Amino acid sequence: MDTHDAPSIRLTLPGGPEYVRLGRLALSGLAHARPLSAEVLGDLKLALTEACSVRRPSSAGPGTYEIRYELHEDRLVVELLDAGDGFVVSDEQLLSEPALGLGIIRALADELEVGPGGDGAGSRLRFVKHLDD
């Protein structure tokens, strides 16, 4: 999957929940570049909100995290990266609030990946929504 042919936006946000609104605003802006139905935009905003909520900050504090958006002709890719302690994905925590958030993302997105950051440090959550014409 070539990511260099797609317009992209990168936001670095403080870890506080009040900043999630900026990430949602960026999604709304992308809807002007590639018109999205109100339903799809709403689903993407909810998935992003859940992705931000399942993020576990590092033991040093909330820190910052990055949201990357890539708008392709056929899909929108949203990726969260941070230096924190990862995302809740273990079977023992399936009924916890963060794990339920991952379930919501799975239901709204077409693809979901959760794992370590690209350099092995921190964590990465990536979801993809296929865009139909």
Q: Which of 56-60, 70-74, 114-118 shows the highest mean pLDDT? A: 70-74
Cβ–Cβ < 8 Å for 45, 27: yes
| pLDDT for the residue 91 | 46
- CA 94 to CA 50: how far, in whole Å? 15
Residue 85: closest CA among 126, 124, 123, 48: 123
DSSP state of 115: E
Does the predicted TM-score (pTM) go above 0.85?
Answer: no
Provide the percentage of residues in the chain whose pLDDT is more than 70: 77
**pLDDT tens for each residue of 71-86:** 998 999 999 998 766 6
- Average pLDDT of the chain is 82
- Could you give the domains of the chain? 8-130 (3.30.565.10)
Nearest CA among 130, 28, 125 for reference residue 72: 130
Mean predicted confidence (pLDDT) in 25-52: 91
Q: Which pLDDT tens digit goes with each residue over 18-35? A: 899 999 999 999 888 888
